[in-house]
Amino acid sequence: MNRQTMLAGAKGRETPWDIVVIGGGATGVGVAIDAATRGFAVLLLEAEDFGKGTSSRSTKLIHGGVRYLEQGNISLVMEALKERGLLRQNAPHLVHDLAFIVPNYSWWEAPFYGIGMKVYDLLAGKYGFGRSRILSAEETIERLPNLQTEGLRGGVIYYDGQFDDTRLLIHMAATAADHGATLLNYAPVLNVTRDAEGFADGVTFADSDSGEQFTVRSRVVINATGIFADRVRRMTDPEAKRMIAPSQGIHLVFEQSFLRANAAIMVPKTSDGRVLFAIPWHGHTVVGTTDTPIQESSYEPKPFEGEIDFILDTAAQFLSRPPTRADILSVYVGIRPLVKEDGDGVGNTSTLSRDHTIHIDQAGLISIVGGKWTTYRYMAEDCVNHAITLGMLDDRECTTRSLHLHGYHQAPESLGSLAVYGSDADAILAIAAENPRSLEPMHPELPYCEAEVIWAVRSEMALTVEDVLARRTRALFLNARAAISMAPRVSQIMARETGADAGWVASQVEAFQTLAQGYLVPQGYLAS
Ligand SMILES: Cc1cc2nc3c(=O)[nH]c(=O)nc-3n(C[C@H](O)[C@H](O)[C@H](O)COP(=O)(O)OP(=O)(O)OC[C@H]3O[C@@H](n4cnc5c(N)ncnc54)[C@H](O)[C@@H]3O)c2cc1C
């Protein structure tokens, strides 16, 4: 993917696009793949970087959602379990299965969760990832050596999927591009244009790099801007009522040694009735999440003091070595684009539906909001079906159920630290052939190397140091201090690639270091 080529394609088209998608998170990029593989002319515009919004800040699970089972939302669970299976089948380099253990400290938990997980297995049917079963206390400790053993009776093991959210997103963007879509980051949509009858017929967007503005025409305009969907809806309907009830969730990241296992802990009911996970991820331990209603959406939400305490307290109940504030390597916060039932108040968001919603306003602007990372493909199929009807486009079948995603590789383990790149790993190794030292880690605590930075600039449309350290690699999310110390070197490598001057290097380092403060505790939090 090359941004200059994409920009030239975006502004150079003389006939209207079939579909313009606003928003480059999981939902928008999913729609771009679906539409492009049906043969439509698609332009996707992302205001910041791909995944800058919620899609980089998930718990990293491709799952049916055990919690929704407890809420009785069987259809959502079944749909998500099916999508989980399809995603592992279509992107084995990016989605793998992971054992989850529910530790049992009361007599009733083994039969209760044991039966619940059997239902989960049954709902997965042929898309199952492995059978759940009840474990003895000894078996539980063997799999989770750092579990709090006092009062432990045993556990229930079940299987779900895990992924790296922005790595998958970049491969999705590349898949859409491979099928002819034009995707542009740093291209905010400023306005949705309308024809003489008031129907949406295009958008005006800016190229943040040059400051230039362009207006393009389209038969259908899709708003896939997640937590920002209401702002875009007001471009065609200034009176539109709020549809999004934002709710934030935080994750704390620790060293691997706190979990020291290939399995995750799933706490089905915390002191305030939520679900909490402790998960091994990229050689670290991620613990989360929370569900705190907030008033306004923003790109860099901050954790509340109470959320940090809640996660530390809950982790202390389940881990034999309780983590402290000083052990936090990074804290990241995401905002769920939950859809309000009605009215304007923001109440208890944990009970709001995780299903997606498609809304079409009087101007014909299609907004798709809600859902989950796991179900992006199904959401996209549904959305493009609506677009076909609304825009009177050719009625072409969806083909994504069996579509291999970019980088598809059946034995990614053989690629070592480049496993997540799948078949792109060869291209990164080719870059490294010019300079074998470019495969050495840039920081002793993280695996990321110079060749990955070069690849991100040349082929993954990374424009800033933040793009590289937060989303092409996951340095910022795994260890904010390490990421801060990598910033000068990363900006030098990027400048060498692009020909940027010393001023650019200095301003990038400063901007990244300021941003990264928000991922540090205690400096970076806001008291509630
Ligand atoms: C804490 C947390 C944990 C989660 N964990 C999981 C999980 O483990 N598994 C799972 O399946 N799901 C999970 N989810 C849900 C999942 O992350 C979201 O459903 C999904 O990422 C939403 O994607 P999106 O594309 O709709 O929104 P976003 O990713 O926010 O994308 C919207 C994009 O629109 C862009 N945009 C906004 N305005 C404009 C404009 N004017 N012009 C152009 N672009 C614009 C933004 O920059 C943004 O990139 C979690 C969510 C949260 C908050």
207/10 Cα distance (integer angstroms): 10
473/431 Cα distance (integer angstroms): 17
Q: In whole numbers, what is the pLDDT of the chain averaged over residues? A: 94
311/445 Cα distance (integer angstroms): 24
**Ligand 1 first shell, C-beta below 6 A:** 22-28, 45-48, 52-55, 57-61, 63, 188-189, 224-228, 232, 249, 289, 334-337, 371-374
d(CA 137, ligand 1 centre) in Å: 39
Q: Which three-class secondary structure state does DSSP give residue 96? A: strand
DSSP designation for 470? I
Average pLDDT of 246-273? 93
Position 347 pLDDT exceeds 70 = no
Instruction: Give CA 424 to chain center in angstroms.
Output: 20
Q: Which atom of ligand 1 is nearest to the CA of 289?
A: 1
d(CA 204, ligand 1 centre) in Å: 22
Average pLDDT of 5-11? 96
Instruction: Give CA 174 to chain center in angstroms.
Output: 16
Element of type H or E holding 429: helix 425-434
pLDDT value for 65: 86
Position 191 pLDDT exceeds 70 = yes
d(CA 175, ligand 1 centre) in Å: 19
Per-residue model confidence as pLDDT tens digits over 197-241: 999 999 999 999 999 999 999 999 999 999 999 999 999 999 999
d(CA 165, ligand 1 centre) in Å: 10
On whether the CB atoms of residues 87 and 377 are closer than 8 A, the answer is yes
d(CA 2, ligand 1 centre) in Å: 23
> In this structure, which residue's CA is closest to atom 35 in ligand 1?
23
Per-residue model confidence as pLDDT tens digits over 12-21: 999 999 999 9
Rg of the chain, C-alpha, whole Å: 23
Per-residue model confidence as pLDDT tens digits over 415-474: 999 999 999 999 999 999 989 899 999 999 999 999 999 999 999 999 999 999 999 999
Q: Which atom of ligand 1 is nearest to the CA of 248?
A: 53
Provide, rounded to the nearest whole percent, the portion of the chain with pLDDT above 70: 96
286's tokens: 């991620």
Residue in 184, 228, 357 to alter for ligand 1 test, most ligand atoms within 8 A of Cβ: 228
d(CA 53, ligand 1 centre) in Å: 5
Residue 353 or residue 382, greater confidence:
382
89/298 Cα distance (integer angstroms): 34
Position 186 pLDDT exceeds 70 = yes
In order of 59, 118, 374, 478, the CA distances from 100 in angstroms are 14, 14, 17, 21
> In this structure, which residue's CA is closest to atom 50 in ligand 1?
58
Question: Residue 344's pLDDT band (boundaries 50, 70, 90)?
Answer: very low
> In this structure, which residue's CA is closest to atom 4 in ligand 1?
58
d(CA 502, ligand 1 centre) in Å: 34
Query: What is the b/e burial string over 34-63, where b = at least 16 CB atoms within 10 angstroms of the residue's CB?
Result: bbbbbebbbbbbbbbbbbbbbbbbbbbbbb
Closest C-alpha to 54, from 335, 245, 252: 335
What is the 3-state secondary structure of 183-204? EECCCCEEEEEECCCCCEEEEE
